[in-house]
Amino acid sequence: MTLHSGHLPVLELNAEDYEYEMSDYEGARARWCPGCGDHSILTAVQRLLAAEQLAPENTVFVSGIGCSSRLPHYLKTYGFHGIHGRALPIATGIRLHRPDLTVFVVMGDGDCTSIGAGHWVHAMRYNLDLVVMLLDNGIYGLTKQQTSPTTPQGFRSNTQPRGSWLPPLNPLQIALGVTNASFVAQTAEWVPAHLYATLRAARQHRGLSFVRILQRCPIYSSAVYLEAVQHPANIRMLVHDDGVVVHELDKIYTNQVAHDPHDLDAARRIAGATDRVNLGVLFRDGSKPRYEETRRVPPRTQAERVALIDAELDRYAI
């Protein structure tokens, strides 16, 4: 403590001693529908940021288009609200140019598995150090109930009023089939303790962490996960010391199976199972190569950037 000229005590605050709280990450008031699962996900993310003590000015959330993609607006961090399906290319650029930043990506099921599917597959293969969250409610909610790639077969929508013709795309099977995938997990927004634990495991992984979050839309697809919500026996918890273990859920979710997340073949079998909803870390391998290890962009001054741009433009001079 020091004294200024008026002899009033003045505290000298050291930024390294400051401890962030959840309120430090609260942005604008969330405008999702009441009962939307996105509210639970936002709370879990804020809780994660505080637990990891991530400085808001060094944290970035990138999203595409959709209800879930509004999440960056509701956080007091840096955010980039991109266009439909393009969140991952934007996040890749940020990660390569600013490796000092912590980067999260938020996408909906259409954003990721439809228009953004090509970017999604290659981002998994690049294995950049990102936390990628797929918020999957099985419907296009923002544009008022159209069939998405993950809509259950037979589910009626405005674009397919007689029911979805095709079986739904399985994001877990696709992710686990990509060469160099290093972390694949599934959780659910109505199990907040498991959601938080899974996101924290993803954050602490070295490489791209792909987390599919089962998320209810109370307006257009409330029935998609109804059985799993109402009957915990329909959920199978995958437990392992190198995965996710949440002991306070043991009495509710008694269907627990030991699963080694280093066993890729077992992870693929679990991903294809349809008898239960499996929650937990299906696969992780921190030894996989990361793209930024070979493709890192060297830091440059502003003058150097301008010179490079000028040189590129000069190539097209007549």
Name the band, by pLDDT with cuts 50, 70 and 90, for residue 3.
very low
Of 82 and 159, more confident:
82
pLDDT for residue 186: 98
Spell out where the chain has E strands: 2-3, 9-10, 59-63, 78-81, 102-108, 131-136, 183-188, 209-214, 235-239, 256-258, 277-284
Alpha-carbon torsion angle 172, 287, 132, 244, nearest 10: 70
Please calculate the CA angle 198-137-23 and round it to the nearest 5 degrees. 50
User: In angstroms, rounded to a whole number, what is the distance separating the alpha carbons of residues 101 and 163?
Assistant: 44
CATH 1.10.3720.10 assigned to domain 18-314? The reply is no
Q: Is 8's pLDDT higher than 80? A: no
Q: Is 234's pLDDT higher than 80? A: yes
The strand pairing partners of 210, in sequence order, are 132, 184
Least confident range from 37-51, 60-74, 149-163, 302-316: namely 149-163
Q: Is 6's pLDDT higher than 70? A: no
Mean pLDDT across 62-90? 93
pLDDT for residue 144: 82
Residue with tokens 């709280």: 21
Name the band, by pLDDT with cuts 50, 70 and 90, for residue 14.
low
Contact yes or no for 204/198 (Cβ under 8 A): no
Whole-prediction pTM: 0.88
pLDDT for residue 5: 42
Q: Is 291's pLDDT higher than 50? A: yes
Mean pLDDT taken over the chain: 90
